[in-house]
């Protein structure tokens, strides 16, 4: 069957051929003029057709149409036409979710192809000089209507790609250009600037909910209202522009409302902001009335934006506890549904039915709406929509006791969410896909449901927890897929370790032990019975005066945790050997070596390793010929210690010199970078130009659940977790240059944060290291130097890494001077235990 597009192309070719025959009798000048007129009209017609196709949710067709119009404008050498048609192509790319492509086509349209890497989402925050260069390049643009439109689109696309600094630079300069000619494009620029501030505000809110460090939360809590107010100001300026179109004003009001509702929900939990909360609440009511009174503005929008705007309003209204507003939301949703039927858009029909499901109060009706919405989403393989309705149906079926249907929907939701998330992360790690709100609850609900069965499928629970922990880590890193292998898929191991999974499901703590023979054993405990001991032990470990806390205070809490979680599965554990732990968020900053059975610490019986969601790089033994190390460290404070993200209360690390000498003696060959030689540039040169199976860093550092605050202190600059990715990039799993062992001594986890050990896992993952040894708290320097000496001795004697670390820890435990857990308990091995 010949597609309509093909027919159109053939008809167009025929008309063109016929036209050329008819004008052959004309003079050459007339012929050229008529050809140009014909082609110009054709390009204009194609441009118009593309906009019609885009309005009807046919972005792929619109893209092809505008590509054809671009070809004609190029043939005519019509520069303004070329620019305009390339900007149109960007609209189609955006509608298709191809934002990098949209960015690149805009650079082409505006002739802004530079070496700044504007569309490259893997690059770090731009330097001041690069921002100034971008400002200059944008400022040189002629303030024509087409150029201003292109620059506004570029600012929006950069925002969506997470390039917020670059987006602000482009838009601020575009606003300056627009003001020079009193352009009508000013309203769109203000809208985009408001959207940037709202994105920054939302990222801060996400950080606030994710990061537990009290000082950091206090700092963010002060910034959030400022960013909210700044975004609101842009929207208010836009709404008050004289003679602004109804549609532009409506877009500003809807974004304004989204921000106000989000801000109001955050203010509820801020007791010291009671007056501001009341004020924002009143502003919401006033704004909702304004939007509803001017509902004719929705009719000014083309069909697809009109549907989106109505559903946007309905979803916002659904978050306000007011029955009258809920009925308004239902009315707008039904209007959106009618329009979706009119333009026959399956995507918008699915969104409309799903929104009705959210608004419905009757379970039967909710189920019917969500089922219809899911059927429509699946008919066009729209995983980005389907997972939302599968989550909802999973919860409904679970409440109804329909376990099989609930399981099916949760499983499908996770599959689709993973697909969507992977796509977003590959485009931009900072895209707003709320992991905590959208993904994590579904994973945990699914595991809870599986474990409620009389004979739970423990393998499936492990698999789901694996997916959750890896997704949490990838979300933390804002990276693509990590190249890791599940423990049950490891090959060529002489003996399998015992694996213990500890899963926090809120009301319960689930422990699953996987014995060396592969058998699985499950134990569940009410979390209330162990939560106090967890919090008490963590508070002690992160106390500034931990070294002075009595040992009995530590053993009391660690024994309570042992008795509740480990003792019930003790009969399934070997009497000695290796234990590999997969720990959920609330346990990740507690070293399992410290668990106490009343007579012995766990480290006295077992060597211990932790994994990234029970996935690691394929374990390999560190051979004698691989004892080649890059050693870097600081013995004194350096210029980088004044960086705002540097750890607080740093002091000189005089023992670093001795530690470096000890490591040099224990390795076959080494390169040492001490103090002013340990610069970011020199460190990178050594890493990239030479093969070092061992990288040992003895410097101040901090691990946090905030990637930007997970840092190592080099002499001239901080090395954050994203720097590590760029330093190590290219060292793959099969590369001979891969890091076998990364040692990070003298570091600590951020205070008051149960999840700060996520930073250790993140640093290990970004380094691509097979095994990582790190410290959970700032350990006394002399004892660390001694422990490291014993650790490398063990490696030289052929001990597996976990056993070498265990023997080193036991050497301190048996030393009266260093017997306290403060000296030996904070060392952690992540990854391969061999």
Greater confidence, 614 or 473? 473
- In this predicted model, what pLDDT tens digit does every residue of 750-795 receive, in sequence order? 565 666 666 776 777 666 778 889 888 888 888 998 999 999 999 9
Cα→Cα distances 53→7, 12, 310, 327, 345, Å: 17, 18, 21, 33, 12
What pLDDT does 690 receive? 87
* 8 Å CB contact between 758 and 774: no
**Confidence band, pLDDT 50/70/90 cuts, at residue 13:** very low
Cα→Cα distances 339→304, 308, 816, 829, Å: 8, 10, 79, 58
- Mean pLDDT on 690-703: 89
What pLDDT does 548 receive? 86
What pLDDT does 120 receive? 78
What pLDDT does 599 receive? 95
**Residue 649 burial class via C-beta count within 10 angstroms: exposed 0-12, middle 13-18, buried 19 and up:** exposed
What pLDDT does 550 receive? 86
What pLDDT does 538 receive? 87
Greater confidence, 108 or 428? 108
- In this predicted model, what pLDDT tens digit does every residue of 120-178 receive, in sequence order? 776 656 655 677 888 889 999 999 999 999 999 999 999 888 888 899 999 999 999 99
Most confident by average pLDDT, 488-492, 612-616, 670-674: 670-674
**Confidence band, pLDDT 50/70/90 cuts, at residue 14:** very low
Give the Cβ contact number of residue 368 at 10 Å: 15
Q: Give the whole-angstrom CA distance, residue 774 versus residue 88.
A: 52
Q: Which two structure tokens, joined as six digits, stand for 750?
A: 């951020």
Question: Per DSSP, what are the bridge partners of residue 694?
Answer: 629, 741
Q: Give the whole-angstrom CA distance, residue 477 versus residue 708.
A: 10
Q: Residues, the chain, total?
A: 834
- Mean pLDDT on 272-288: 93
- Mean pLDDT on 338-350: 95
- pLDDT above 80 (res 224): yes
| Closest among 150, 185, 184, 187 to 170, alpha carbons compared | 150
Q: What share of the chain is helix, strand, coil (3-state, %, to 5)?
A: 65, 10, 25
- Mean pLDDT on 211-221: 77
Cα→Cα distances 312→262, 366, 650, 816, Å: 13, 19, 49, 66
**pTM of whole model > 0.75?**
yes
Please identify which residue in the block is written with the tokens 């040189």: 140
Greater confidence, 28 or 353? 353
Q: What are the structural domains, with CATH classification, of the chain?
A: 4-96 (no CATH), 485-615 (3.30.420), 623-831 (3.40.50.1460)
Return mean pLDDT, the chain. 85
Bridging pattern class, strands 628-633 and 694-703: parallel
- pLDDT above 90 (res 183): no
What pLDDT does 131 receive? 79
3-state secondary structure of 309: helix
What pLDDT does 342 receive? 94
């Amino acid at each position: 069957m010949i597609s309509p597009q093909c027919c159109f192309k053939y008809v167009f070719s025929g008309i063109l051929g016929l036209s050329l025959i008819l004008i052959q009798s004309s003079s050459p000048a007339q012929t050229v003029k008529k050809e140009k007129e014909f082609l110009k009209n054709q390009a204009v017609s194609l441009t118009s057709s593309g906009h019609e196709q885009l309005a009807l949710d046919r972005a792929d067709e619109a893209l092809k149409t505008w590509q054809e119009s671009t070809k004609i404008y190029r043939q005519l050498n019509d520069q303004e036409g070329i620019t305009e048609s390339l900007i149109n192509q960007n609209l189609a790319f955006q509608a298709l979710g191809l934002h990098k492509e949209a960015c690149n086509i805009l650079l082409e349209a505006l002739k802004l192809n530079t070496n700044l890497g504007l569309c490259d989402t893997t690059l770090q925050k731009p330097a001041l000089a690069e921002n100034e260069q971008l400002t200059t390049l944008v400022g040189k643009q002629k303030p024509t209507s087409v150029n201003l439109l292109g620059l506004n689109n570029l600012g929006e696309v950069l925002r969506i790609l997470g390039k917020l600094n670059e987006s602000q630079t482009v838009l601020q300069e575009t606003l300056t250009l627009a003001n020079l000619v009193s352009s009508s494009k000013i309203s769109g620029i203000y809208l985009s600037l408001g959207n940037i501030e709202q994105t920054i505000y939302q990222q801060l809110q996400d950080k606030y909910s994710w990061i537990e460090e009290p000082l950091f939360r206090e700092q963010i809590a002060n910034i959030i209202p400022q960013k909210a107010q700044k975004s609101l100001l842009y929207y208010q300026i836009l709404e008050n522009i004289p003679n602004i179109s109804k549609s532009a004003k409506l877009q500003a009001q809807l974004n304004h409302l989204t921000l106000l509702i989000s801000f109001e929900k955050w203010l509820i939990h801020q007791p010291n902001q009671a007056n501001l909360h009341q004020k924002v609440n009143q502003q919401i009511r006033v704004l909702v009335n304004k939007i509803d009174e001017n509902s004719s503005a929705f009719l000014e929008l083309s069909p697809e934006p009109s549907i989106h705007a109505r559903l946007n309003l309905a979803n916002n209204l659904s978050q306000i506890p007011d029955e009258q507003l809920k009925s308004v939301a239902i009315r707008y949703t039904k209007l959106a549904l009618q329009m979706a039927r009119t333009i026959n858009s399956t995507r918008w029909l699915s969104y409309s039915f799903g929104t009705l499901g959210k608004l419905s109060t009757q379970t039967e009706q909710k189920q019917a709406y969500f089922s219809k919405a899911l059927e429509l989403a699946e008919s066009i393989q729209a995983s980005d929509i389907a997972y939302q309705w599968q989550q909802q149906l999973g919860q409904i079926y679970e409440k109804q006791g329909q376990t099989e249907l609930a399981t099916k929907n949760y499983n499908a939701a996770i599959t689709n969410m993973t697909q969507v998330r992977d796509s977003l992360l590959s485009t931009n790690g900072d895209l707003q896909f709320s992991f905590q709100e959208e993904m994590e609850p579904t994973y945990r609900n699914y595991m809870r449901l599986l474990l409620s069965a009389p004979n739970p499928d423990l393998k499936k629970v492990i698999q789901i927890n694996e997916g959750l922990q890896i997704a949490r880590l990838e979300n933390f890193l804002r990276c693509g897929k990590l190249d890791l292998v599940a423990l049950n898929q490891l090959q060529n191991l002489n003996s399998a370790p015992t694996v213990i999974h500890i899963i926090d499901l809120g009301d319960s703590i689930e422990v699953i032990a996987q014995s060396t023979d592969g058998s699985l054993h499950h134990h569940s405990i009410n979390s209330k019975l162990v939560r106090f001991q967890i919090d008490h032990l963590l508070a002690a470990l992160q106390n500034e005066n931990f070294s002075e806390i009595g040992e009995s205070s530590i053993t009391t809490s660690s024994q309570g945790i042992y008795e509740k979680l480990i003792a019930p599965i003790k009969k399934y554990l070997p009497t000695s050997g290796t234990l590999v732990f997969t720990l959920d968020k609330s346990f990740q900053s507690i070293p399992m070596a410290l668990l106490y059975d009343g007579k012995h610490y766990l480290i006295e019986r077992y060597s211990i390793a932790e994994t990234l969601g029970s996935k690691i790089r394929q374990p390999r033994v560190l051979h004698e010929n691989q004892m080649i190390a890059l050693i870097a460290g600081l013995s004194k404070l350096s210029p980088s210690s004044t960086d705002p993200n540097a750890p607080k209360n740093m002091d000189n690390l005089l023992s670093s010199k001795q530690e470096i000498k000890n490591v040099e003696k224990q390795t076959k060959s080494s390169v040492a970078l001490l103090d002013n030689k340990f610069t970011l540039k020199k460190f990178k040169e050594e890493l990239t130009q030479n093969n070092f199976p061992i990288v040992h860093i003895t410097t101040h550092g901090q691990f946090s659940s905030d990637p930007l605050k997970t840092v190592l202190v080099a002499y001239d600059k901080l090395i954050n977790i994203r720097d590590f990715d760029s330093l190590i990039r290219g060292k793959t799993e099969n590369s001979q240059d891969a890091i076998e062992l990364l040692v990070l001594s003298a570091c600590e986890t951020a205070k008051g944060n149960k999840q700060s050990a996520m930073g250790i896992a993140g640093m290990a993952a970004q380094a691509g290291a097979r095994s990582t040894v790190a410290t959970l708290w700032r350990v006394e320097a002399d004892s660390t130097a001694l422990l490291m000496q014993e650790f490398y001795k063990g490696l030289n004697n052929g001990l597996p890494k976990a056993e070498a670390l265990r023997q080193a820890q036991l050497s301190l435990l048996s030393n009266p001077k260093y017997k306290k857990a403060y000296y030996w308990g904070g060392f952690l091995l992540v990854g391969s235990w061999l």
